[in-house]
Homo-oligomer: A and B are copies of this chain.
Amino acid sequence: MSPAKWTEPVLRGHAIDWENKFCARCSLMTSSAIREILKVTQRPEIISFAGGLPAPEIFPIKEVEEACVQVLRTAGQQALQYTITEGFLPLRQELAVKMHKYGVEAEAENIFPTNGSQQALDLIGRIFIDPGDVIVTDSPTYVGALQAFAAYEPRIECLPLDDDGMQIDHLEDVLKRQKVRFIYVLPNFHNPAGVTLSLERRIALVKIAAKYGVPLIEDDPYGELRFEGEDLPAIMTLHKENTIYMSTFSKILAPGLRLGWVVGPQALISKLVQAKQATDLHTSTFIQMIVHDVMRRGILTDHSKLIRKVYGERCHVMTDAMEEHFPEGVKWTKPQGGLFLWVTAPEQVNTRDLLKKAIDHKVAFVPGTYFFPHGGGLNTMRLNFSNAQPDQIREGIKRLGATLKEAMA
């Protein structure tokens, strides 16, 4: 390279008004309000319950290093080369075994690795939603799903949540009225609400969806993170022909790897493969082989036990501190797993205003309203209990309690 002789531009300036160059779809894209909050709350003096990060102290760093060395020494050329969009076959086989243990009948051909489950949500939006098509979600629901689907311009019909998860009393009315592309469900330890869909509702949901021929999207990032109570069957075990299941290594291994997976009927997987081929050719061969090596050595079983123990402790530290420090009239969910719980303050408390005061008190959360597809929930908030350590949780809840008392005084 000898750039010196040709660095002189032909044209300089002519500044472009880029906003004017983007297509109409871009008006639907905004940076997530939550991501903006997270930037503010990263100041080191703030105890933040706002994010959704796993506890980094327990990442199995040494085991990942061993996997890297193993993969590169035994199959380095393969690990660094292009691979097929369908994914690394031995990983898909390990995932099929894992799904069997979880109660889901699946073969390698039913399994598709993606860049985290966020990519699965995007690809599902891409193959199911034309502009104006109707989808059903609960409310509140996972904002990442709302963001992924929004690019494809759906109309969203919402079902409210209670302590047993999505309320399905009015689902048939919704399905009778119009063609619905899919029903999106977070059955276990819901983000943001922390609640779990009861067995009765799972069974009823599967029956209604089948009656109207509407696919169920089962988003299950936290299913293995139950620290209390009894496991419930995955929706896919109840009617696998009509369910698309997805999960991720982000919560049971490490989110920085960006690896998730979809389980579904083969016709669906083939269409997702076509969609993904156009978006990024394939998921990193190296990352797929690292995770395969970690799985093969049985590390995830012990590691998920450790995660459940740590998150269970942190959840209890948080709810105990809330009992002690939160004023009367404030309620919260009691999760049996996952990373989040959901707080409901009295009607007069607006949690967006409360957040400003909380930041003055050096504590942060996400106002609940951001999780409602059509607004509402102004007096609610989401708290994460996986990322802060127990002492910080106690201190942070004390600060949040003081903030709430001031706001309610």
Residue A298 lies at the interface, judged by CB distance under 8 Å to chain B: no
Pick the most buried of A79, A82, A283: most chain B CB atoms within 10 A of its CB: A82
Interface residues of A in 227-247 (CB under 8 A from B): 231-233, 237-242
Q: How far is the CA of A268 from the CA of B83 in the complex (A)?
A: 31
User: Is the CB–CB distance between A239 and B9 below 8 Å?
Assistant: yes
- Contact of A348 with B by CB under 8 A: no
Residue in contact with A115 in the complex, picked from B1, B72, B115, B233, CB distance below 8 Å:
B115
**B14, B126, B130: the one within 8 Å of A210 (CB):** B14
CB-CB contacts below 8 Å: A42-83 with B = 53-54, 56-57, 59, 61, 64-65, 68-69, 72-73, 76-83
Are A81 and B22 neighbours in the complex by a CB distance under 8 Å? no
Q: Indicate if the CB atoms of A59 and B31 lie closer than 8 Å.
A: no
Which chain B residues border A122 with CB–CB below 8 Å? 278-280
Beta-carbon nearest neighbor of A65 in chain B: B72
A82-100 interface mask toward B, CB cutoff 8 Å, 1 = contact, 0 = none? 1111000000000000000
Interface segment out of the listed A144-152, A331-339, A356-364:
A144-152
In the complex, A21 has a CB within 8 A of chain B = yes
Do B10 and A238 touch (CB < 8 A)? yes
Q: How large is the interface on A (under 10, 10 to 19, 20 to 34, 35 or more residues)?
A: 35 or more
- A23 and B128 contact, CB distance less than 8 A: yes
Are B241's CB and A16's CB within 8 A?
yes
Chain B residues within an 8 Å CB radius of A84: 35
Ranked nearest first, the 7 interchain pairs of A and B with the lowest CB-CB distance are A3-B103, A256-B285, A80-B254, A61-B76, A18-B267, A56-B77, A6-B233
Name the one of B18, B83, B114, B115 contacting A265, with C-beta atoms under 8 angstroms. Answer: B18
Chain A residues in contact with chain B, CB under 8 A?
1-3, 6-7, 9-16, 18-19, 21-26, 29-32, 35, 53-54, 56-57, 59, 61, 64-65, 68-69, 72-73, 76-85, 101-103, 114-116, 118-119, 122, 126-130, 133, 144, 147-148, 150-152, 181, 203, 206-207, 210, 213, 215, 224, 231-233, 237-242, 250, 254-258, 265, 267-268, 271, 273-275, 277-287
Residues of B within 8 A of A77 (CB): 56-57, 59, 61
Residue of B nearest to A206 (CB): B10
Q: Apart from A26-B271, A258-B283, A287-B287, what 15 extra A-B contacts exist at CB < 8 Å? A: A11-B210, A14-B241, A26-B274, A30-B274, A35-B85, A56-B81, A59-B77, A64-B72, A65-B73, A69-B69, A82-B250, A126-B151, A151-B275, A151-B278, A256-B286
Write the nearest CB–CB distance from A134 to chain B, whole angstroms: 12
Determine whether the beta carbon of B241 is less than 8 Å from that of A15. Answer: yes
CB of A299 to closest CB in B, whole Å: 13
